[in-house]
Amino acid sequence: MSRAAQRLNTVQPAVSRSIAELERAFGVRLLDRDRQGIKPTVYGRALLDCGAAAFDDLRRGVRNIEALADPEGGEVRIGCPPLLAASYVTTIVDHISRRKPRVSFQLVTGTAEELYNKLGERKIDVWIARFDDVADMRLHREVLFEDSYVVVANVQSPWSRRRKLTLQDLLDEAWALPPLDNRVGSYLAQAFRACGLEYPRVTVTTTSPETRFGLLAMGRYLTMMPTFALRFPARRPEFKVLPLSLPLAAVPVSIVTLKDRALSPAAEHFIETAREVARPLQRGTHRLRGAASSPASIKIRS
């Protein structure tokens, strides 16, 4: 209560009095109090969610007024995993910035669960998601493209000159891969298991795409990457996709928004540009998921 009073530039009794008046008005207890402090009850949490939506509508209204006054400006808040941030999303941002240099972007990276929460709390406008991440009827999900993982080496690696390879051939090489307890790591491990192999002894375990690209540049390391990471923001001639097919299902890359939330003109333009940039990656007619006729089918996994 004391910290809340400081943030509001008032005194603690005034905050306590306001909470008490709210509880009388609603007829329910909004906060649980004990020696450790306070926390919202289920009723308090519902009121916080309602308040977050109300203030979000107000902020969005202000942004829309600004956009009407300056149709070439605005702000977009995007959530996505680090690898998408460094490749596909960067390309979208650059496309828009060249056309509308007054548009600003806030790029937030994190895990699927973190970004799911930020979207629900309206701290981001759009979420570029990989895999099937969320099961929530409040969300609209559109699959932009489906992508496959490949084994990548430096063009100077002896393996880059081979015409045919198997994972067995590469098992004892210097690998840079995500850990097994990471979702991408557990997904990649399926490729080794499907070939009757254990996950290799990894020389460098990291979730950082920048670290894996840096190791690839040194010449002797191997890694696995989705193909979009080798195309955006530009093709990488120093890296070579090795000639073996991984027994893995394609991974969908989707754009996720809140169904009942109107987006700003800048956010709508971001989505249109995301579709445009994704078009060369699409194989045939992609499916739209999470539209009004079919609920979203996303599952949070830790």
Average pLDDT over residues 173-189: 93
More reliable by pLDDT, 79 or 23: 79
Query: Band of the pLDDT at 301, cuts 50, 70, 90?
Result: very low
Query: Band of the pLDDT at 172, cuts 50, 70, 90?
Result: very high
Residues 159/153, Cβ–Cβ less than 8 Å: yes
pLDDT of residue 295: 30
Domain 2-40 matching CATH 1.10.3720.10: the answer reads no
The fold of 70-138+258-281 is: D-Maltodextrin-Binding Protein; domain 2 (3.40.190)
Q: What are the tens digits of pLDDT across the range 183-240?
A: 899 999 999 999 999 999 999 999 898 999 999 999 999 999 999 999 898 888 999 9
pLDDT of residue 286: 39
Average pLDDT over residues 74-86: 93
pLDDT of residue 68: 59
Q: Where are the domains of the chain?
A: 2-40, 70-138+258-281, 149-241
> Which of 96, 85, 75, 175 has its CA nearest to residue 130?
85
Cα dihedral value 3, 4, 9, 14, nearest 10: -120
Equal CATH topology for 70-138+258-281 and 149-241: yes
To the nearest 10 degrees (0 to 180), the angle between helices 265-278 and 42-69 is: 80
pTM above 0.75, yes or no: no
pLDDT of residue 29: 86
pLDDT at 247 over 60: yes
Rounded CA gap, 59 and 39, in Å? 26
Query: Mean pLDDT for the chain?
Result: 86
Q: Give CATH for domain 149-241.
A: 3.40.190.290
pLDDT of residue 296: 34
More reliable by pLDDT, 298 or 169: 169
